[in-house]
Structure 1
Amino acid sequence: MDSKYLVIDKNILPDVFEKVIIAKELLRTGQIKEITEAVKNVGISRSTFYKYKDHVFTLEERSGGKKVTLSFLLSHLQGVLSNVLQLISNNGGNVLTINQDIPINGIANVSITFEEDNLKKSIEELIDEIKDTEGVKKLVLVSME
């Protein structure tokens, strides 16, 4: 494995990592001005915060105005791909590429790459919304660069 980054479900990690992210968000948004106050608010030590602050990120923090590639299995029904593209566009995504295979047994393999600089919601929220779209059988986050 060449990549030094992993995507891990937070449910299997110690809660300290999520607390570091929450403290960083409190500081970033200005809700809290001082690190001491932020770490006290979330229940971690300053040393823990400093140990992990440069190594724990949400998908949004890590992606920072980059490209996202999603892979789909879509039902071969009129308007499904159009609805997915409309969701991405309506939420501020700028579609760069669309690759679609010929549908086999009523299912088409599609990949879409888009810029997420101007998204109005988080990547996770957008993915959840797309997953709930009629005709979307499977959605996989392939990459964020």
Structure 2
Amino acid sequence: MTKEFLSFLLEDEEYAVPILDVREVRGWTPVRKVPNSPNYMQGVLEIRGEYIPIVDLRLRFGLSDAEINATTVVIVLNDQQRHPLGIIVDGVSEVYSLTNEQIKPSPHVSVDVDHRYVQGIVSVPNGHMVLINMQALFDTTELAQLSQTEESWA
């Protein structure tokens, strides 16, 4: 059985999320800031009447801030409860069809890495790609509260 994954770039490294979790890919547009939010939370974006929390995935991974340019995009994802979440990435790469046999567990070589964020690693033509466990990465309860706070301001 194969599954499709949408790959994207962060600091020239390739990551991917299951394509069935992708709602849409959008070009960058400014977001509305939310007071007292975590540093990785950039704000919310209104898309067709719905407020979507937007997260800088670079900051969430402990990398430098995203530099917004022509290739910067927001990938809008759905969590398991179909709540939307937008992630800022440097650019999208391609769609991969992968079998379970191609997905290898992440190596546990460092105690500094929180492995619950990594679903697996896959060998691809340009090197390796990290499959992200999006459910573990984001506290969707916190993000939903932030988007509901924004709705109350509207």
Shorter-chain TM-score range: under 0.3
Q: Which has the higher strand share?
A: 2
TM-score normalised over the length of structure 1: 0.25
The structure whose Rg is larger is: 1
Q: Which has the higher helix share?
A: 1
